[in-house]
């Protein structure tokens, strides 16, 4: 079942339900802000004070950072512009009783060209079932190559940040954005203070273990992963976030970040893909 819905302020989203899962996806940013498996409940954190308004980023779910992650491109807004632009809903397919696939698109326009002077075709393909598959396809329609950094900025809902263990990044090189130092990860990750690291050379499946669930994350088309939690003081300063919300999520972001950038030549397509089981 697929329904197009609208908040009172005119903000539009699609609601999808099948026998395995349900999801809500905003047309702005093709942003998944809710995904529930029948057997597991809500997968993503969503701030209770998040804005659902045109031009404002949603705090939680899966923001799409494109064509720049963070401030990799200082000429663009933080995390690029795709997350606050309206995507076109292109199609949906009921593949079977448990699987629904939707396609969203964003093309270059006068507004995008004023920010980033390249012609492109962006397609976001999301498959909703007892697994969630997200695929971002970037086609270079220009006559010149461009450099791309990007991410699925996934906010995973947790029982409490003190309960989680993230494995799969042991011995991976990483850049700590708080200390500005390059290090190697030693062991599994637990969080007891502000945490913001970009891991490189990631070629393994990640496992997030919580008190009552285990989530696995498999990435294709990238080798960098960002792990982030703002902790107490930064959480208090952030927009659309309550003071203790840091306890409710861990961001594990499938990315092409920093040195894992992608050069896309004319008529080439680059694909970033994440499967969450």
pLDDT at 167: 98
In whole angstroms, give the CA distance from residue 220 to residue 18: 26
pLDDT band at 75 (very low <50, low <70, confident <90, very high): confident
pTM equals 0.96
pLDDT band at 12 (very low <50, low <70, confident <90, very high): very high
Each residue's pLDDT tens digit, 114-163: 999 999 999 999 999 999 999 999 999 999 999 999 999 999 999 999 99
Catalytic residue among 34, 135, 153, 248: 153
pLDDT at 247: 98
Q: N- to C-terminal Cα distance for the chain?
A: 22
pLDDT band at 74 (very low <50, low <70, confident <90, very high): confident
Site of tokens 């220009």: 142
pLDDT at 227: 98
Residue 253 bears catalytic tag: yes
Q: How far lies 207's CA from each of 64, 95, 156, 241, in Å?
A: 21, 28, 12, 26
Q: How far lies 217's CA from each of 65, 151, 252, 277, in Å?
A: 18, 14, 9, 6
Tokens of 7: 């908040």
What is the rounded average pLDDT for all residues in the chain? 96
Q: Average pLDDT for residues 252-265, to the nearest whole number?
A: 96
**Does the pLDDT of residue 84 top 80, yes or no?**
yes
Residue 15 bears catalytic tag: no
**Does the pLDDT of residue 77 top 90, yes or no?**
no
Greater pLDDT, 274 or 75: 274
Contacts 24+ apart (CB under 8 A), 229-237: 229/161, 229/191, 229/194, 229/195, 229/196, 230/194, 231/191, 231/193, 231/194, 231/195, 233/194, 234/194
pLDDT at 111: 96
- Report yes or no: 241 and 274 within 8 Å, Cβ to Cβ: no
Site of tokens 């927009």: 239
pLDDT at 51: 85
- Report yes or no: 20 and 37 within 8 Å, Cβ to Cβ: yes
- Report yes or no: 99 and 243 within 8 Å, Cβ to Cβ: no
Cis peptide bond upstream of 25, omega within 30: no
Length of the chain: 277
Best CATH choice for the domain 10-270 from the list 3.40.50.300, 2.60.40.420, 2.70.98.10, 3.40.50.720: 2.70.98.10
Q: Minimum mean pLDDT among 41-50, 70-79, 207-216, 242-251: which range?
A: 70-79
pLDDT at 249: 98
- Report yes or no: 215 and 277 within 8 Å, Cβ to Cβ: yes
In whole angstroms, give the CA distance from residue 187 to residue 23: 34
Catalytic residue among 34, 135, 248, 253: 253
Tokens of 158: 């947790």
pLDDT at 29: 98
Give the DSSP per-residue string, 128-142.
ESSSEEEEEEEEE-S
Please report, for the chain, the start and end positions of each structural domain, with discontinuous segments joined by +. Answer: 10-270
State CA 23 to chain mean position distance: 15
């Amino acid at each position: 079942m697929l329904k197009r819905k609208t908040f009172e302020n005119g903000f539009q989203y699609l609601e999808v339900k099948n026998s395995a899962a349900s999801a809500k996806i905003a047309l702005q940013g093709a942003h998944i802000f809710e995904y529930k498996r029948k057997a597991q409940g809500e997968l993503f954190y969503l701030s209770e004070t998040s804005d659902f308004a045109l031009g404002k980023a949603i705090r939680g779910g899966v923001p799409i950072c494109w064509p720049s992650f963070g401030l990799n491109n200082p000429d663009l807004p933080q995390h690029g512009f795709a997350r606050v632009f309206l995507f076109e809903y292109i199609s949906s397919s009921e593949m079977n009783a448990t699987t629904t696939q939707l396609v969203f698109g964003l093309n270059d326009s006068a507004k995008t060209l004023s920010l980033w002077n390249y012609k492109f075709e962006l397609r976001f393909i999301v498959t909703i079932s007892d697994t969630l598959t997200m695929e971002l396809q970037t086609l270079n329609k220009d006559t010149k190559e461009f450099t791309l950094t990007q991410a699925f900025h996934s906010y995973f809902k947790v029982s409490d940040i003190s309960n989680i263990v993230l494995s799969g990044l042991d011995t991976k090189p990483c850049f700590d954005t708080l200390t500005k130092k390059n290090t190697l990860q030693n062991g599994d990750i637990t969080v007891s203070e502000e945490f913001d690291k970009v891991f490189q050379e990631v070629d393994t499946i990640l496992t997030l273990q919580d008190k009552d669930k285990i989530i696995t994350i498999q990435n294709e088309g990238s080798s960098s992963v960002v792990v982030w939690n703002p902790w107490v003081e930064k959480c208090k300063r952030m927009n659309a976030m309550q003071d203790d919300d840091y306890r409710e999520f861990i961001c594990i972001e499938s990315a092409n970040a920093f040195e894992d950038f992608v050069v896309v030549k004319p008529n080439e397509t680059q694909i970033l893909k994440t499967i969450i089981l």
